[in-house]
Amino acid sequence: MSPEPVPLRGPIRRADRARQVADIVRQQIHAGAFDSALPSEPELAAEFTVSRNTVRDALALLKDEGLIERAPKIGTHVARRKYDHGLDTLLGLKETLRGHGEVRNEVRVAMRVNPPPTVARKLQLEPGQQAVYIERLRYFGDLPLSLDLTYLVPDIGDEVITRDLETNDVFALIEQISGGPLGAADLALEAITADAHSAATLQLPEGGAVLLLERLTKLEDGRPVDLEYIRMRGDRITMRGSLARPPERTDALLGAETWRLI
pLDDT at position 257, please? 57
Question: What are the tens digits of pLDDT across the range 132-171?
Answer: 999 999 999 899 999 999 999 999 999 999 999 999 999 9
Question: What are the tens digits of pLDDT across the range 3-20?
Answer: 666 666 667 888 999 999
What's the start-to-end Cα distance of the chain, in Å?
18
Query: What pTM does this model have?
Result: 0.80
Computed from CA positions of residues 167, 171, 175, 181, in that sequence, does the dihedral angle turn out positive or negative?
A: negative
Question: What are the tens digits of pLDDT across the range 23-42?
Answer: 999 999 888 888 889 999 99
Helix (H, G, I), strand (E, B) or coil at 150: strand
Q: Report which listed range, 64-68, 224-228, 232-236, 241-245, is most confident.
A: 224-228
Instruction: Tell me the average pLDDT of the chain.
Output: 89
Q: Phi-psi region for residue 155, left (φ > 0), alpha (ψ -120 to 50) or beta?
A: alpha
User: Can you list the domains of the chain with their CATH numbers?
Assistant: 14-78 (1.10.10.10), 83-240 (3.40.1410.10)
Helix (H, G, I), strand (E, B) or coil at 43: helix
Percent of the chain past pLDDT 70, that is, above it, reads 91
Output the CA–CA distances (angstroms, integers) from residue 78 to 26, 35, 39, 51, 82, in the order listed: 10, 8, 11, 22, 11
